[in-house]
Structures are given as structure tokens and as C-alpha cells.
A = this chain, B = another copy of it.
Amino acid sequence: MSAPAKTSDRKICEAVRNLLEGGGERSLSMQKIASAVGIQAPSLYKRFAGKSHLLSAAARGALVEMAELLGNPAGAGKTYESLERMGHLYRKFAKKNPRTYALIFSEAMVAREDLLRARQAAAEPMLALLRPAVGKDAALNAARMLVSYLHGFLSMELARTFRFGGNVNEAFQYGLTKTLDALLEEKAQHG
């Protein structure tokens, strides 16, 4: 007789996110994940081939959330304002899910081919805004510049690298404005 499942992949991914945000990577042992969903560690291997597959599933969920957040066309308007809003949403997501954000960009997760699609989907809203604004050829370079700024700023902010004084919110806005100005220089002015 088939025993009923005690848990689900979805619950396991939720547990991963909660443990991660709650206590960092050292709270994220297979034992602790298993006990959070009421099973034993070896049972996790019936569902995921290994820890990195399990983390990948959690990371994919987060990338989907991010794609939805950034792709949400609430208040569609000028390119500049849309990109600015997107920058702030990006930061909001990262600050709300700091360890998950770090997981997404961790070397182990970036190496996982099964996350490529989700990554591409999360990058698409930005590319879609940039393509008509800077041209199809420059859009990839432009997106890489903007996301480099955003990711660099956020990973340093989340790791608490900004400690020499100054206002961090203001610094983010300063860099975002200048980055967008540079990208869209000859296009519609803002403000």
C-alpha cells in the first residue's frame, strides 16, 4: 500500500526560503530542511537528486517571482520612468529576500543550466524596455550595464559594504539616475 506523501516539493522550497532568510546558509542543512517539513534527510533524495537540485528549485521560484514583479506593467509610461521604477522594484525584491537574492547569484546556482530559462525570463522586462529605446543592437550592452549597476549596488548593500557614511538610499538614486541618463541620453528627457 502506497504511503501518503508527508510533504511536497512546494513545501520543501518554502522551507528552504524560510530557513535561508531566517538564519543564513548554515541553517540550510539537509537535516534542517527535512525536519522543517517533518521528514528525515534521506527522504529528500527521493524528490531531489541532491542539495544543489533542491536549492535550484527554490531559486527558480524566486526568479519567477522576480520576473513577475519586474514584468508587471503597472503604470506603463515613458521608458525612463519605467526603468527607474524597475530599478527600485529590483532593489525592493533584493532587500526583502536578501539571502534568496544572494542564492540566485551564487556561483553554484549560476552554473545550473536548468535555471537559464528562468534567468532569461527575469531579464526580459528590462530588455523589452531598452530595445526600442536604444536600438536592438545596443540593448544587450545597455541591459548589462544597468543590471551590473543594480546587482553591484545591491550585493554590496546587502553585504553591508557601504560603511563609510553617506546616505545609501540617496546613493542608489544618484547612480540609478546617472545610469539611466547615460543610457537614454539623446532620448526623451525626464523631470
Contact = CB atoms under 8 A, between A and B. Distances in A.
Interface string A121-142: 0010000000000000010111
Interface in A151-183: 151-153, 155-156, 159-166, 170-171, 174-175, 178-179, 181-183
A148 interface: yes
A147 B141 contact: no
Contact of A153 (B120, B152, B166, B181): B152
A99 to B, nearest CB: 9
Interface string A84-111: 0000000000000000001001110011
Given A145-B174, A171-B145, A178-B183, A165 B152 contact: no
A145 B141 contact: no
A116 interface: yes
Chain A interface extent, by class: 35 or more
A190 to B, nearest CB: 14
Contacts of A102: 107
A9 to B, nearest CB: 26
Interface in A12-37: 24
* Top 7 A-B residue pairs of the complex, sorted by shortest distance between their CB atoms: A152-B152, A145-B175, A148-B152, A178-B182, A148-B153, A182-B182, A151-B152
Given A144-B175, A151-B155, A178-B182, 11 more contacts: A105-B159, A110-B159, A140-B165, A140-B166, A142-B174, A144-B156, A144-B162, A145-B171, A148-B152, A152-B153, A179-B179
27 contacts: A102-B107, A105-B155, A105-B161, A110-B161, A111-B159, A111-B160, A116-B163, A140-B166, A140-B171, A141-B175, A144-B153, A144-B174, A145-B153, A145-B171, A145-B174, A145-B175, A145-B178, A148-B149, A148-B150, A148-B152, A148-B156, A149-B149, A149-B175, A149-B179, A150-B152, A151-B155, A152-B152
